[in-house]
Amino acid sequence: LHAYSIRWAIQNGLRTYDLGTGDFSYKYSFGSKERLVEGVRIDPTNSRRNRLDRRSLPSVMSSVRKLRQEGKLHLAERGCRQVLETEPSNLEARRLLNEVVAARHIEEQFASALQRHRGKQYLDARRIYLEVLAANPRHYGANYMLGVLCLQAGQYQAADTYLARATEINPKAAAAYNNRGHALRGLKRYDEALACYEKAIAVKPDFVQAMNNRGVTLRALGRIDEALTLKPDFAKALINRNQLRVPLPRDRLSIADDVDILE
């Protein structure tokens, strides 16, 4: 009956079957492969005052390090605290706990700044972004959003500084390249702005706003024919090309749709 059930599962598209703790000789009859599954439970359910077994600490610390790298700060913090309950002298757990607590505080600050920014409380948002950067100068989100805030205020030099740093921290941030292009246009550095729009498109080939902005910038440089020429991977820019055929203000950019994108 068990073998029949396994065969039925295979016929119906099931790829994984848990045999539990059974060691049945016929389990190999269907060409199955072994898969070792390991798990770590940080929260024990025993009577040792919820403390971890000392023998599990190396494994738990390995999991904590991974959680820290993945940005799962609340779980990493819980793991550190439980290790320290069992072994208060564990220096690595103490160091990681301090790092995680500081990182969680920074992320809470950033979330607060972002909420104020979207609520148009610009002065408060700017103040908190700067506090985040004082604690972590390479915080991508704070650099990016402070650059956006400066761009919205027409402070192009400051916007360029923060957005350039954001693209250096995260070279795959298409929106940061696009918005830096806006800042450089504001500074009349059109060639550099064009390079930013092209980087944005290279990272995100379907970035329609960046395609439009590229065309507008080419026109500002007097390269009208090039602005009207579609490259093979710019198929979605057809509408933008048609818009470029009619007189438009020289500074018309696609900014409203992407100025508030956080990647």
DSSP-based three-state secondary structure for 113: helix
Minimal CA–CA distance to 177: which of 191, 193, 190?
A: 193
pLDDT at 216: 81
pLDDT for position 123: 95
CA dist., res. 100 & res. 78, Å (int): 10
> How far is 17 from 10, CA to CA, in rounded Å?
9
Burial profile 81-97: b = 16 or more Cβ within 10 angstroms, e = fewer: ebbeebeeebeebeebb
Per DSSP, the three-state class of 152 is: helix
pLDDT tens, position by position, 179-193: 999 999 999 999 999
pLDDT of residue 5: 81
Nearest alpha carbon to residue 227 among 216, 236, 238: 216
Among 256, 260, 253, smallest CA distance to 184 is for: 253
The confidence score (pLDDT) of residue 209 equals: 84
State both tokens at 96: 């990681």
In the numeric block, which tokens belong to residue 167? 């693209």
Query: CA–CA separation, 73 vs 75, rounded Å?
Result: 5
The mean predicted confidence, pLDDT, of the chain is: 81
Cβ atoms of residues 243 and 219 within 8 Å? no
Q: Would you state the pLDDT for residue 226?
A: 64
Q: d(Cα 15, Cα 9) in Å, to the nearest integer?
A: 8
Task: For the chain, give every domain's residue range.
Answer: 1-37
Q: Which two tokens stand for residue 88?
A: 């208060």
Q: Assess contact for 257 and 209: CB atoms under 8 A.
A: yes
SS3 251: coil
Indicate yes or no: pTM above 0.75.
no
pLDDT < 50 stretches in the chain: 232-237, 240, 244, 246-263
Nearest to 181 by CA among 262, 120, 251: 251
**Buried-exposed string 218-235: b where 16+ CB fall within 10 A, e elsewhere:** bbbeeeeeebeeeeeebe
Token reading at 157: 């030099």
